[in-house]
Structure 1
């Protein structure tokens, strides 16, 4: 290389000032943090719109469903105990049953029957409708 070419590349190369350490400037760091904050806001906004909300209303709904299931299980347990003891009086059991909390129930009589091939059966059942708020569940009891 000629001296002129060396001087050209030497003039174009990086200039180092004494005491200078390589790194980011304050402006570059601020720009990086601003871009990160904008991306974080965009991600949380998108997540809030697409993910289900588990707020206070959801807790109330789950509590109502739990209350209904607990009430049905309590009545079914009492029903099973009477069957096992041989003392089933379904009308007395349902008439004396009091629901707890916000659960209410109504009883209706229905008959389930079917015939197919060589058999025919007809069984009277009690259809119990449990309600709690907007939720409704049914349970059937046979004599």
Structure 2
């Protein structure tokens, strides 16, 4: 019988206390996404994540010099991704544009009328610098 070479990838999951964990139950470790992106694309390629949640794919793509598009329907997720890019890359990240975020009082009022819960998330994340999801159960104030 011929033996096959088997490659095993060992990547730990994000535990609830992992500093990488941002509060999304389906969040994957950055190391896993980096491995997937490295094996399926080259530098400069475009990576699309249509359900990006907290932006792990976006962060991994940025680290690996890929172009990226991250899509999510919640203002909380969009602001969390922006906060994550700022935290990990400072001002050295790829410039990006957010579509659908209120840019003035008229679009903020329109969002409030269309979906009051998304308006709440948008307003809270704007005035807490995206830090809403960072507090974990049992964490004390600093």
TM range (shorter): under 0.3
Give the structure with the larger helix fraction.
1
Give the structure with the larger strand fraction.
1
Q: Which has the higher contact order (CA 8 A, sep 6+)?
A: 2
Larger Rg: 1
TM-score (norm 2): 0.23
TM-score (norm 1): 0.23
